[in-house]
Structure 1
Amino acid sequence: MNVTYLDHSGFCVELKHTVLIFDFVEGSLPHFDPKKAIYFFVSHRHQDHFHKHLGELLTAYPQAKAIVSSDIRRVRDAAVTFMRPKEERMLDDIYITTLQSTDEGVAFLVQAEQQVIYHAGDLHWWYWDDDSKSEKAAMKQAYFTEIKKLCDIPIDLAFLVLDPRQESDYWMGFDAFMRINQVQYAVPMHCWEDYDIMNRLKNHPCSEPYRDRIISYDHRGETFQIGGKQDEICI
């Protein structure tokens, strides 16, 4: 599959017959075969995840469909499918499962063309120093409850939050997901263009068991290719 970093938490995943576009807000979409089925995924209503002109995108790509979190009510189009947290749905040839975000909306687990792809949206261990002890405990429990639901599902590609605003605690949510779940390759996102945070994670002692499975990038529009489960990453 070809994967293109669009911006922030936005990525395009191109398979042989299918294009999956997650949380596209800014940047340019790559060129792909117009005959392919196209699916836009929108995890929640925050402006860094939801393209306010989604209707125009669907007009520009008449064959496209959108899978949109149910917290978004500003889109009315026959090509839009709304999904609530903890829901499963078969749409054409792709199977979609949603998880409950620890912030807004949903995370997506998508099975298409024998590939399993996870996009976290804002499902993350949001650990903040100024939260109370009880708030921190509730957040941790909510996060672990959701991500443990995937522990028996081999994931080919996971897009996971790595947010520099969490300062010294930036690594905790990413690390927990990688240790609990079976992830072939992981792509950091939600980095606010602090691309060096990926190198900091790779150099952090926590990542020793999985750092060779972290895919990093340093500019919008960067594309990398992932073949089979045993193939090398080409950037």
Structure 2
Amino acid sequence: MPARIVYIHHDCFILEAAGKTLLFDYPAPSYLPEAAATVAASHIEGADLTVFVSHSHEDHFDPDIVNATRRAASRRFVVSDDVADLHGDRLPTDALIMEPDMVKDVDGMRVEALESNDMGVAYLLDVAGLRVSFGGDLALWDWPGQSPAARRAVGMSWRLALKRIAAQPVDIAFSNMDPRLPSLSGAPQFVETVRPRVFVPMHVNGKTHYLDRFAPRLSHPGVTLFHYANAGDMLEV
């Protein structure tokens, strides 16, 4: 099934497939350049839109998301439970609140929530047969200076998550490639283990030149890397 991925900023992407528009982790204005907001608005206007929010950190969630998406033709919101706890009064009453291990049908899409090892959830989606993984802040957060116990714990949680994601073939995978970490927050390990058809690195805070630098570490036979540079860059799948 044809699909289109649109880069917006940081962990914010749009996926267009099967007549649907999926918006992931739209950030607060302080984390979203004006040009990126304009690109997002152009794809939201008139769309049959589903908004996915992985967690409440402002680089992933705009508390004014309802207003930001007001020009969509139709909307539904899928949010993590921490977003509902902290910002429930800013959400529509029919927003679907996801907790780890929940599975729901959303407008014909199968939506499964995985527990994040940071905050909130990650998502596994089936969109008309297209299997999509969106990690949010689920990653290998092995920060320098961590205690051995903390390093073991984060490594174990990451390996368990990868095993679960890789249990079925993945068509499109969005996962963090944080350049501040020698491990790139687990991105090379994700590619090697899950082997998605398309890998979309995230969490570079607009510093897309890091994709040039680290692309060789993300290459794998049969895996297409979405090597974006500017807001609005697209990959046809």
TM-score calculated relative to the size of structure 2 = 0.86
CA drift at 1:208:
4.6
The alignment status of 1:31 with 2:69, answered yes or no, reads no
Residue in structure 1 matched with residue 204 of structure 2 by the alignment: 191
Identity of aligned residues (%): 24
Pairwise CA RMSD of aligned residues? 1.9
- Where in structure 2 are the equivalents of 1:127-138 lying within 5 Å? 127-138=142-153
Which string of whole-angstrom CA distances, capped at 9 and with x for unpartnered residues, describes residues 195-227 of structure 1? 1222222233xx45348521111111212211x
C-alpha separation in 1, matches of 2:154 and 2:186: 11
Equivalent pair of 2:133/2:165 in contact (CA under 8 Å):
no
The aligned residue for residue 90 of structure 1 is 105
Look up the match of 2:183. 169
1:85, 1:152 → 2: CA distance? 17
For residue 160 of structure 1, report the CA deviation from its aligned partner: 1.0
- The residue type equivalent to 2:25 in the other structure is D
How far the C-alpha of 1:82 sits from its partner, in A, is 0.5
1:225 partnered with 2:236: yes
- Structure 1 residues 209 and 223, CA gap change in structure 2 (3 angstroms): closer
> Which ranges of 4 or more aligned residues in structure 1 deviate by more than 6 Å?
none
Q: Summarize the alignment of residues 63-102 of structure 1 with structure 2, pairs less than 5 Å apart.
A: 63-72=74-83, 73=85, 74=87, 75-102=90-117
Residue 112 of structure 2 contacts residue 123 of structure 2 at CA under 8 Å; is this kept in 1?
A: yes
More helix by share: 2
Q: Cα distance 1:208–1:110, how it changes in 2: closer, same or farther (>3 A)? A: closer
Question: CA, structure 1 residues 175+107, in 2 after alignment: closer, same or farther (shift >3 Å)?
Answer: same
- Residue 61 (structure 1) aligns with: 72
- Structure 2 distance, partners of 1:32, 1:193, is 21
Aligned length: 221
The CA deviation string for residues 129-159 of structure 1, in whole angstroms up to 9 with x for no partner, is 1101111010000111122112221111111
| Aligned match of 1:5 | 7
Give secondary structure in 2 for the equivalent of 1:31. helix
What residue is the counterpart of 1:179 in the other structure?
192
Separation in 1, partners of 2:151, 2:214: 22
How many angstroms apart in 2 are the aligned matches of 1:91 and 1:13?
Answer: 15
Task: Write the mapping of 1:94-113 to structure 2, written as runs, cut at 5 A.
Answer: 94-113=109-128
**Residues 67 and 23 (structure 1 numbering): CA distance in 2 closer, same or farther, change over 3 Å?**
same
TM-score (norm 1): 0.87
8 Å CA contact retained: 1:86, 1:97: yes
Separation in 1 of the partners of 2:91 and 2:176? 29
Contact 1:24 1:51 in 2 (8 A): yes
SS in 2 for 1:142: helix
Structure 2: runs of 5+ lacking an equivalent: none
Amino acid at match of 2:183: D
How many Å separate the matches in 1 of 2:219 and 2:203?
Answer: 22
Counterpart of 2:216 in structure 1: which amino acid?
N
Question: Matches of 1:79 and 1:68 in 2, distance apart?
Answer: 11
Q: 2:44–2:72: 8 Å Cα contact kept in structure 1?
A: no
CA deviation after TM superposition for structure 1 residue 89, in Å: 0.7
The one-letter code sitting in structure 1 at the alignment partner of 2:157 is A
Q: What do residues 166-189 of structure 1 show as CA deviations (whole Å, max 9, x unaligned)?
A: 1x332x511221222141000111
**Structure 1 segments unaligned to the other structure (5+ residues):** 227-235
What corresponds to 1:231 in structure 2? none
Contact 1:153 1:182 in 2 (8 A): no
